[in-house]
Structure 1
């Protein structure tokens, strides 16, 4: 009896010891939260970078507007959104738009990639191999000119190192322009135009001076054609220009954007230049007309084939007597058709 009691006591003690050891083994420590701590820290870091980057972008954009607002208000009747009583319109953490209206509608995008650390690093790596521009604050001005302006042409000033790829990637530049002489511009820029005289007229104004004196200038594209090939050629659209550069407090880029509408409006194209522009469009219209005629011919041939097949299927469903009657009718129609052809020849 005593032995049984001792054995039972020892068993219970052993079970208690094992349970205590298991509890100690399963007790949570700070080491168990290492992964959660790392992920939480990364999340906090991302939020901090996003917020600080977004705030820095806003500050940069506001500084740019403050340095140019007086000049812009002298040039345009309306600067900013008067209805909402705001000058800048935020479009995401890195983009801000400034709308000005008068003879033209201009939208201006500013901002960098400070709020997107991963994107910034990725773009920086690609830029080292020439596949992307180095991350930087950029200025983009898009201006659509007065609808009553009767000018229609394509013209571009592009960086020499990326000019060919830019031209090949745009329908308007690839289709209408050729490389032109540009002695009034820095050697790192090239000009594409529909006519040399057109380039000479534009660059004989203050445009070439502002571009030459602006370290911020990147590119200028003036076009009345879409940048992508449409399913059906629709001719010239409203003349507009796309001006890009680095963001800074220098005045040349803003002056250039304000000068261009006047320069383009005052252009007096020579007769041979107009003839060249007209020829370029007539060639494209002929190609579009031929393409349309080919498409119509294909559609007509397809409809005839479908009708012939449907008739053959119908005849198969007829009785033998009805099929013989149909064949006789077809032979008579073919004979009559051949007789008409002989009559026309004679």
Structure 2
């Protein structure tokens, strides 16, 4: 009996000990220490916000400045342009809108309605005052010759009347830009030869199909204005040939005048605008001598022959490709034939080849 009681007592103690072990013990909770937020906690956000606002201000200020300068330049030229062209700007409404905005630094002035001219696109390319990074990068690249300096410039493209009889290629280019443009443009590279002139300073390079052509165009007011504005002129190119190499050449197109120059820092009328309006009349009245025409015609004949050879070579290559494709298709068809059909096909091929050889012998 005593043994039974002892066993029960031991079992009870063991059960109590086990229950005591399974009882979860709660760990003491340490309170999290917090502090109030200060302005130093938003240092990065403040810097980014200020930077964004500064860039937005510079962008807006640069855009406004560019538009203001473009309008000032146009206002200085508008009276003369309106005396030369029937349409200056965009008259889509009752009020005349002169400048078309194509970006924060790009503006377009459209002109048309003049003798010897189809239309003119006057692109005003201003400094990227709205974009500090682009402005800085451009200036750095310009120092090592990889880009043009960021300046306010005018790029004019004027299509002359198709009825003008004379067709030729002529150019006056700033010396440090001449080689690059000569290699880049198809018309200058193919028929433009270096010419000389006593009228123009040494910082300008002349390209023409003949020396006499250069002398004829530079005589009179054209040469005078170019000499006076040689510090701002970048390029003047008059051409009836395409700027980029075409797939096929048959004849000259209408003449196009491309005039690129820097805006003058001094206010007032720009004499290069006068030059642009003088050129259509000079070219319209131009009558080339027989020896100049002979040289130009020779250049065109060489171009026609060269492109005709290229076209013939392309056609021959295309014909060879078609023949090769037809031969492969025939071989695939023969492979699918039965042995008996293949023998018949081979006999026909041998007979056809024999006939060809006999014809060659007779010839």
Q: TM-score, normalised by structure 1?
A: 0.90
Is residue 2:279 matched to residue 1:264? Answer: no
Is residue 2:48 matched to residue 1:39? Answer: yes
Q: Aligned-pair distance for 1:277?
A: 0.9
Q: 1:73 aligns with which of 58, 71, 82?
A: 82
C-alpha contact (below 8 Å) 1:96/1:109 kept by paired residues: yes
Q: Aligned-pair distance for 1:331?
A: 2.1
Q: Distance in 2 between matches of 1:79 and 1:314?
A: 68
Q: Which residue is equivalent to 1:91?
A: 102
Aligned CA RMSD, in angstroms, stands at: 1.7
Q: Aligned-pair distance for 1:64?
A: 0.9
Aligned 1:173-184 pairs, distance under 5 A: 173-184=188-199
Q: 1:225 aligns with which of 238, 241, 246?
A: 241
Describe the shift of the 1:42–1:324 C-alpha distance in structure 2 as closer, same or farther (beyond 3 A). same
C-alpha contact (below 8 Å) 2:174/2:233 kept by paired residues: no
Q: Aligned-pair distance for 1:20?
A: 4.4
Q: Secondary structure at the match of 1:102?
A: strand
Q: 2:135 aligns with which of 120, 124, 128?
A: 120
Q: Aligned-pair distance for 1:29?
A: 2.5
Describe the shift of the 1:121–1:327 C-alpha distance in structure 2 as closer, same or farther (beyond 3 A). same
Q: Distance in 2 between matches of 1:237 and 1:42?
A: 52
Equivalent pairs counted in the alignment come to: 328
Q: Which runs of 4+ in 1 moved over 6 A?
A: none
| Deviation by residue 1:37-75 (Cα, 9 ceiling, x = unmatched) | 111111111110111111111110111112121111222
C-alpha contact (below 8 Å) 1:50/1:115 kept by paired residues: yes
Q: Distance in 1 between matches of 2:329 and 2:177?
A: 56
Q: Secondary structure at the match of 1:286?
A: helix
Q: Secondary structure at the match of 2:120?
A: strand
Is residue 2:203 matched to residue 1:185? Answer: no
C-alpha contact (below 8 Å) 2:88/2:111 kept by paired residues: yes
Q: Distance in 2 between matches of 1:134 and 1:63?
A: 22
Q: Secondary structure at the match of 2:155?
A: strand
Q: Secondary structure at the match of 2:31?
A: helix
Q: Distance in 2 between matches of 1:272 and 1:134?
A: 41
Q: Which residue is equivalent to 2:171?
A: 156
| Larger mean Cα displacement after TM superposition, 59-68 or 103-112 | 103-112
Describe the shift of the 1:300–1:20 C-alpha distance in structure 2 as closer, same or farther (beyond 3 A). closer
| Deviation by residue 1:280-324 (Cα, 9 ceiling, x = unmatched) | 111111111111111111111122222222222222222222222
C-alpha contact (below 8 Å) 2:199/2:223 kept by paired residues: yes
Q: Which residue is equivalent to 1:4?
A: none
Q: Which residue is equivalent to 1:5?
A: none
| Larger mean Cα displacement after TM superposition, 143-152 or 187-196 | 143-152
